[in-house]
Structure 1
Amino acid sequence: MRTMKVFLLSVLSVVFCAQTGKGQDNSKLTQDAEQTMLKATRFMVEKVSTNGGYVWYYTPDFSRRWGEMEATKTMIWLQDPGTTLVGHMLLDAYRATGNEYYYQAAAKAANAIIYGQHPEGGWNYLIDFAGDKSLKQWYNTVGKNGWRLEEFQHYYGNCTFDDNVTSETARFLLRMYLAKLDPAYKPALDKAIDFILKSQYPIGAWPQRYPLMYDFNKQGHPDYTSYYTYNDDVIWENIHFLIQCYLTLGEQRFLDPIKRAMNFYIISQDGSGGWGQQMDLNLQTAGARTYEPKALLPRNTEAIIKQLMDFYRYTGDRKFLNPIPAALKWLEQTRLPQNETENGRYSHPKFVEVGTNKAIYPHRKGSNVVYGYYYVDYKDTNLLSHYGGKSFVNIQELQDEYNKLCVMPVEEATKDSPLLEQTYKEEGTPVTYYDLSHERPTRIPDDSFVKRVVQSLDKEGRWLIKHGMTSHPYIGDGVKKEPTEEYVKTFVGDETDTSPYRDPSDALYISTGDYVHNMRMLINYVEAHKNGLTEEQLRARLR
């Protein structure tokens, strides 16, 4: 018995030491992760940023830099993965560590954003600290010659909802205000809120750009920026922001625009059951860029079905479920033939012709923006590499979720509604940032991943990457007139095309997107290990 006790004590001692050693290792790795986060952030804030803002890529010597297109040294980009995304991440780092440096870095990003806020209250894709004169020259040279980037070929001088630019930037200012209830951010936030409210059409939708402009007609295509716009989730992202404002600022005035926007989903459904990317003011499906024809889109329809189910969860009103059966039926009717799915990789065409339900596909000919052009036909060959022509929709998953909601008691479906009246039962107050999108990564990386990220930071504090985005420098307008098919499937045309493309060489880049990704993984690790959180608990904390 004594021998057995000694043996058991020895075993327990070994187990305890192993667990203690693991705890010490985790503690040491958590410290290493925090030090790496701070070193990387100091480099980005103090060496890379322009007045607190960022673009997407930089060469290590800073001789060139890019947002969605090549940028000047006085520019910052708001589109992800630019200034706004960095700002959100910095606030995440501040929450996880309590280190004031991250809050101050986020404040610098917010100040840059406020500097570039349009007098109307929204934002353009980018901010140029050199002012309107410099920005117009950029649009007339670099922007004008990006063949596939038609949204940059014309200087509007107004604001955009495209790529979540205005809604996401306003959301970041909301977070900055709520972080410490600092009144310094309230005027810009109020201005952004007023912009989103006044730019909404009475019918409930939003245009792509505002104030409304009609002055860019390209190759006979009307200016589409005033249309009712679903593309890039314009309507949903504005609803999302207004609900966050309702939850945190508590003002009743947000309810009517939210409800009108949700109702627009119902009245905008095509008779066939699907939805397009945008509609004209007569509620007719419309095209946009010259490679975005008048069409219905299966992927857009999928997104709208999911959002309608969310609206039912928010309101308990079955009218938001009513359009779904017709939409599911339309998705079944527009499936690709099996021999066109590329072994199941795709299920649907990207574009479906209105009235016929036939698949239509965009293509291009030529070498540059001056003499090149896009066109549409029924052939699924030589599809655009930069935009694709097919998509995948999981109809069964949509059907299962719809069936589940149909039989679920309404009280259960709406129990987490951000809109229904209810008593607040949590600790503290609801004046805190609340994210409905669940887009924030919540994976807790393992030790080996964290060690790789820590070790890959160089002595200067950089995570350098290969195969970043590059572009042809601006050298003048295109001159080649031949309708060649040489650039049919490439991301970029001839040497005059300023559109970006992936650098195939081993040249190194500073990537803002990779910085944010690595930081978020380290943030998750630090936050989880400091607070003993599971991924589910971390996910709940991040809401």
Structure 2
Amino acid sequence: MRCIHLGLAALLSICLSYSPLSAADNDPPAAEVLAAMKKAATYFHDEVAVHGGYVYFYSPDLTQRFGEGTASADQIWVQPPGTPTVGMAYLEAYRATTDDYYLKVATETAEALIYGQLESGGWTNCIDFNPKGERTAQYRNGKGRGRNNSSLDDDQTQSAIRFLVQLDKTYEFKNETIHSAASTALDALLAAQYANGAFPQVWTGPVDQALPIQQASFPKYDWKTEGRVKNYWDMYTLNDGLAGSVAAVLIESHETYGDDRYLASLKKLGDFLILAQLPSPQPGWAQQYSYDMNPIWARRFEPAAVAGRESQDAIETLLAIFNVTRDKKYLEPIPKAVNYLEASILPDGQLARYYEMQTNRPLYMNRNGKDYFLTYDDKDLPDHYGWKTDQKLERLKNEYRKLANSPKAVITNRKVSADQVKPILASLDDQGRWITTFSDEKLVGDQRFRPGDQYISSQTFAKNIETLSGYLKTSH
């Protein structure tokens, strides 16, 4: 791909081509938006980046860095909103402006990710550039040591793949380093899919394809005291939106490369979601399943149960798979699942993260020191975990009706309004920073942020850059 190098004259030409006279008088002119984007991106790249990558939060003086806990000077985070999130924002800025600066910094971000790609093909949540660092792992480049656990937890490997695939497409597949990393990761992801279509939370190599394919059922033993599995991460997982994020990778990869392996994998994932739906009267989904397709425990505070959050993600994923395949079998589980979840809504309008099997009582955990115990009481819950989740059943029902009665949906760019852009421009400070102040207490790993604490956020930076990019693309 021939990159477009923009000097000052070219930049002014672009600014002038977006004539503010054609917009409402109070709409921010393109020149102001372009200048703000470049100022913010230059600060974030030049001052915030470490080895080309990013973490979640930074103190305003950049002396403190936080991912899932405190980050060292040589550590970057893969898990969103870390390095892939920032890289995608740079790429969106490049698409909106054709300014080669953004492609350059996006590529540096990709190179940081590629450094930390594991021998098993995916990523873990952190990349440590110190060969003797506490978080270093067995990197594909031979510069690391230790664990080789590619993870699908919390969108870790998925977010890295999606960014690399999009960047590979931008380079028209001619950047061999990026193309090789994306291809290696996708091959490893396909090899980590079980015969029934499920994925594990973690893999170190290809999974066992000889396991039986069967329908989910409730365990016949006392799940409170029996059946716990130490290596739950090797088994079938839906935790933390895994189905939706993996489906997004497969859909984008099929659209980008035209390789039918990704479409076949997507269909297998949909087949697993059909198998994993639990029997009535609780036709939802669990976080975690054994090879016998029973709900199982994961961590000490993640019981075997029907899961509200994962059930909604399963429904969304089935809708996305149907939108691609148009096979109505992927819609069939949805109506009874939605009806069940509607009947399970809590008095505060939310869904419980867990519902007890058979009784459907909302199930929580309480804590006594390091020990957790099951409870039906939500009055004194540990604050490190989301015990309830917002319900979006009305939206899911509307999407179901629309998809069931219409041709394949086409994603279009939503118009970004001037009212969305103005506060972003106004809040950018003289250094090119968006400083955010915590309004509520927040726990990130071992670091507790208090109301009034100020920080620089990778998520805020990425969201604002993408919004400004969208404004340029859809409003001018």
- Say whether the fold is shared (TM-score over 0.5): yes
What is the CA-CA distance between 1:399 and the residue it aligns to? 4.6
Deviation at 1:308, TM superposition (A): 2.1
Structure 1 residue 455, shift from structure 2 partner: 3.6
Q: Secondary structure at the match of 1:52?
A: coil
Q: Does 1:299 align with 2:271?
A: no
Helix, strand or coil for the counterpart of 2:127?
A: strand
| Counterpart residue number, 1:68 | 68
Mapped pair 1:456 → 2:459: no
Partner residue, 2:371: 373
Report the alpha carbon displacement of residue 81 of structure 1 after superposing the two structures with TM: 1.4
Q: What is the match of residue 467 of structure 1? A: 438
Match of 1:510 among 448, 453, 456: 456
CA contact (8 A) 2:124 2:149 kept: yes
Contact 1:205 1:261 in 2 (8 A): yes
In the other structure, the counterpart of 2:382 is 384
Structure 1 residues 263 and 229, CA gap change in structure 2 (3 angstroms): same
Cα separation, 2, equivalents of 1:92 and 1:20:
22
Task: Tell me: CA distance 1:454–1:308, structure 2 relative to 1, closer, same or farther (3 Å).
Answer: closer
Please list the CA deviations of residues 57-79 of structure 1 after superposition, one character each: whole Å capped at 9, or x if unmatched.
11233221101211000011111
The equivalent residue for 1:284 is: 294
Q: Is the 8 A contact 1:365 1:373 kept in 2?
A: yes
The letter for the 1-side match of 2:471 is Y
Q: Which residue of 2 aligns with 1:128?
A: 128
Structure 1 CA distance for aligned equivalents of residues 455 and 409 of structure 2: 43
- 3-state SS of the aligned residue for 1:42? helix
3-state DSSP of counterpart to 1:134: coil
1:256-267 superposed matches below 5 A: 256-267=264-275
Among 226, 233, 236, the residue aligned to 1:228: 236
Deviation per CA, 1:401-440: give whole Å up to 9, x if none: 545655x3xxx44x458xxxxxxxxxxxxxxxxxx7x8x9
For the residue of structure 2 that corresponds to 1:461, the secondary structure is coil
Partner Cα separation in structure 2 for residue 306 and residue 179 of structure 1? 28
Equivalence for 1:208: 201
Whether the 8 Å contact between 2:243 and 2:317 is mirrored in structure 1 is no
**1:246 and 1:254 in contact (8 A); partners too:** yes
The aligned residue for residue 354 of structure 1 is: 357
Please list, as runs of the form range in 1=range in 2, the aligned pairs for 1:119-518 lying within 5 A after superposition: 119-131=119-131, 133-136=132-135, 156-181=147-172, 182-184=174-176, 185-211=178-204, 222-272=230-280, 273-336=283-346, 341-342=347-348, 345-346=349-350, 348-366=351-369, 372-395=370-393, 397-399=395-397, 401-402=399-400, 408=405, 412-413=406-407, 415-416=408-409, 442=414, 444-446=416-418, 450-467=421-438, 499-506=446-453, 508-518=454-464
**CA 1:202–1:195 in 2, change beyond 3 Å: closer, same or farther?**
same
Distance in 1 between residues matched to 2:431 and 2:331, nearest whole Å = 54
Deviations 1:230-255 (A, max 9, x none): 11222332222122222221122323
Deviations 1:145-189 (A, max 9, x none): xxxxxxxxxx85411111111111011111111102123211111
Identity of aligned residues (%): 33
Equivalent AA in structure 1 for residue 431 of structure 2? E
Residues 236-286 of structure 1 deviation map (CA, whole Å, 9 limit, x = unaligned):
322221222222211223233222111001111111311111111111111
The structural deviation recorded for 1:21 is 5.8
User: How far does residue 107 in structure 1 lie from its aligned partner after superposition?
Assistant: 0.5
The one-letter amino acid paired with 1:297 is A
Q: How far apart are 1:320 and its partner, in Å? A: 1.8
| SS, match of residue 181 in structure 2 | helix
The separation in 1 between residues aligned to 2:46 and 2:118, in whole angstroms, is 26
CA distance in 1 between counterparts of 2:392 and 2:464 reads: 30
**Greater radius of gyration (CA):** 1
Contact 1:276–1:300 (8 Å) recurs in 2: yes
In structure 2, distance between residues paired with 1:255 and 1:505:
47
CA–CA separation in structure 2 for the residues paired with 1:491 and 1:527: 35
Are residues 252 and 61 of structure 1, via their aligned partners in 2, closer, same or farther at CA, if it must alter by over 3 Å?
A: same
AA aligned to 1:164 is D
**Residue 83 of structure 1, CA deviation:** 0.8
| 1-structure distance, mates of 2:21, 2:305 | 61
**2: distance between equivalents of 1:252 and 1:388?**
37
SS of residue matched to 1:292: coil
Q: 1:491 & 1:291 partners in 2: Cα distance?
A: 19
**Residue ranges of structure 1 left out of the alignment (5+ in a row):** 1-18, 139-154, 214-219, 367-371, 418-435, 470-489, 531-543
1:166-223 deviation digits (Å, cap 9, x = unpaired): 111011111111102123211111111111011111111111111179xxxxxx8623
Partner residue, 1:9: none
171 and 416 in structure 1: CA distance in 2 versus 1, 3 angstrom threshold: same
- CA distance in 2 between partners of 1:254 and 1:38 (Å): 36
Shift in alpha-carbon separation, 1:221–1:268, aligned structure 2, 3 A: closer
Contact 1:228-1:278 at 8 Å conserved across structures: yes
Alignment length (residue pairs):
425
Q: Does 224-233 or 301-310 show the bigger shift?
A: 301-310
Aligned 8 A contact 2:130 2:136 in 1: no
Q: Using the alignment, how far apart are the partners of 2:403 and 2:42 within structure 1?
A: 48
Contact 2:158 2:246 in 1 (8 A): yes
- Structure 1 counterpart of 2:323, which letter? R
| In 2, Cα distance between equivalents of 1:445 and 1:62 | 32
